[in-house]
Amino acid sequence: MDKLLRLFLNMTNRYFSMTKKTTILLGFIGVKFLLQFLLLSSEYDLQRDEYLHLDQANHLTWGYLSVPPFTSWTSYIIQLLGNSIFWIKFFPALYGALTMFIVWKAIEELNGNLFALILGATCVLFSALLRLNTLYQPNSFDVLSWTVLYFALLKYIKTDHTKWLYIGATVFAIGFLNKYNILFLLIGLFSSLLLTKHRKLFLNPNLYFAVLLGFALILPNLLWQYNNNFPVFHHLKQLAETQLVNVDRIDFLKNQLLFFIGSLIVIFASFYALIFYKPFNKYRLFIYSILITLIAFLYFRAKDYYAIGIYPIYIAFGSVYLSEVLKDGWKKYLQPIAIAIPLLLFIPIYNVAFPNKSPEYIVQHPDSYKKLGMLRWEDGKDHLLPQDFADMLGWRELALKVDSVYLSLPNKNKTLILCDNYGQAGAINYYTKLKLNAVSFNADYINWFDLSKEYVNLIRVKEANGVNGELQETSPYFQNSILADSITNQYAREYGSAIFAFIGAKIDIRKRIRAEIDQKKNYP
């Protein structure tokens, strides 16, 4: 009877312990979703990249010039759900919440106690992921993919179960179909396996079957790249020449500290633990992995946020180690302080890192933004607003004005709307009340022209630096032409972009469009 009683009490205690942990985890997830919606001011529109990703739902395929196909699948789901702002913001928040969940499970696998779980969840919650998860871009799922793949490796090392090789290969493939950035993770993991006793993995036949599974999953995208002359290389070349050339390697390293500033103690504790803490000896390859991956990022002058996916798994290691260090004597009184640090350091970041202040406020209080380098754009220069914030202004205004110009035209159903960039085209297509179909020679829109119909009018949306000379250049091909309107929001990145109306074509517009497309697609 005594044994049965003890067994019953142990099972009861375990049940209530699990219930308590589950309740706390659900609380963190709830706070995560709440914050993601509270951190955005209604004064801002969507960001330019978001419009492009949403428009991909109307053109489903196995590849795009800008990103792999996974984002378009999410966009299609969002479209089925009504294409509202709520669902657009829901999915990056979901991917961020799942990242927190995986870190929680990693801590459990490392035998972390309740303090370790709460510390890890707090560190993930109050980090750069809050900023990243406000934007509907591939980056949120990219971080989740990295974290799940690291978790699969951790589980394989712990259990030696081959199913984790297949899970890892599947996760890598899905991550690859979301963002090619995950190849940097592969560079770090492959090298670290060779440098440790885990190199014996390369003698396991299941590894190669798992690789074949991953290859089969990404093959449709590779075939798309092949059939389209590998535009990814052209895209990377343009990226390197126009943006990555402005990346400062020292700034890259500085910003790694800022992304998880409230978790630095935990992350550095993980580095120490992976080298010196005996229970983590079998996971030592993780220390080599982060070093090699960061070196690869530095070598290629990658943007700083490309590396965010590295850190969540190290928060798991650090949280478990600190829970052991702080579990006895007077040190246990430091546990609340350790949990409070990420929250306290988040408070000043809250005031600058999110689009929750009006543009006027930011312009009048630029010092904090400038100190953090947030006013520096991809062109390497400082501007009035952070680039992402400026990219969230003027779009709705543009779409409404294009609608108005369109309604004023004769033969309006034979009007081509041609924009300078994908943000303009995507915003018009998202906000229009008239079901218009704007296109551009920029990014994926170059593949989305409908040249099966005749066009007699042209609405031309020009960036501010290309306005001069547009009338003189294009008006000879039309009977009438006017500068119809422009974006007047002075804080918008698109400020000064103009809307021209060209009426009554004297030529077949489609021929000139086809010639321009052929020229643009002739990648150097």
- SS3 for 128-166 is CHHHHCCCCCCHHHHHHHHHHHHHHHHHHHHHCCCHHHH
Which distant-in-sequence residues (6+ apart) come within 8 Å of 245 by Cβ?
Answer: 301
Q: How far apart are CA 217 and CA 196, in angstroms?
A: 29
> What confidence score (pLDDT) does residue 472 get?
85
The continuous run of DSSP H or E covering 186 comes out as helix 183-195
> What confidence score (pLDDT) does residue 435 get?
86
Report the candidate in 110, 109, 112 with the shortest Cα–Cα distance to residue 324: 112
**Beta bridge mates, 217:** none
Q: How far apart are CA 320 and CA 314, in angstroms?
A: 10
> What confidence score (pLDDT) does residue 18 get?
64
> What confidence score (pLDDT) does residue 223 get?
95
> Which ranges of the chain have pLDDT less than 70?
1-18, 235-248, 521-524
> What confidence score (pLDDT) does residue 238 get?
66
- Position 27, amino acid: G
> What confidence score (pLDDT) does residue 9 get?
47
The answer to whether 493 and 391 have CB atoms below 8 angstroms apart is yes
Domain boundaries, the chain: 23-350, 359-390, 395-521
The answer to whether 469 and 513 have CB atoms below 8 angstroms apart is no
DSSP result, 331-373: GGGGHHHHHHHHHHHHHHHHTTSSS-S-HHHHHH--HHHHHTT
| Cα atoms found within 13 Å of the Cα of residue 76, Cβ hemisphere only | 11
Q: How far apart are CA 218 and CA 171, in angstroms?
A: 11
